Structure 1
């Protein structure tokens, strides 16, 4: 399960339409549909009632979206915490490149 799958489901639930949700998520409609189907397979339940327009959440989908919104919020908060800590201390975040090379050099030295 990927965080973007949860974001996709919430977006479809808010939009009530795959095409508008796909546009908002900057993906094709078929890619969005596949992601939602993957999420439904992972969850073991049908989350959307596709027979009606606008698309509606099933009972399981409504419960799932409530939890998904919480998870998305927690992930967003977790991402912001290090930035806030650095801002309080006045330090800069490491560049992805320097972090990447540090990790590689650490792996090399641990294998020696």
Structure 2
């Protein structure tokens, strides 16, 4: 099931509901002009699965995945010009393994690797 962002509610415990029930499916967010700018996957009200964001002009902005509310795998963000902005890798428990950041011109800003 896919619903629009303004059709869901976020409860005080941060779970997402649709028509009073915990939501399973994709929530789509649109710009004021109607372009899709975000798609987030939920299972029983908790973020679970892939998510993606785009700038209103259509360029990709971010991608990642969650497992029952916890960031897992590789999460990436891009500058408007298409150059990478951030790349963070998480293990299956959500612990950050490494992180890289770049300036808009592609110059590396930071690189971090978790110890042990």
- What TM-score range do you get, normalising by the shorter chain? under 0.3
Bigger CA radius of gyration: 1
Q: Which has the higher strand share?
A: 2
Task: Report which structure shows greater RCO (CA 8 Å, sep ≥6).
Answer: 1
TM-score (normalizing by structure 1): 0.21
Going by fraction, where is helix more abundant, 1 or 2? 1
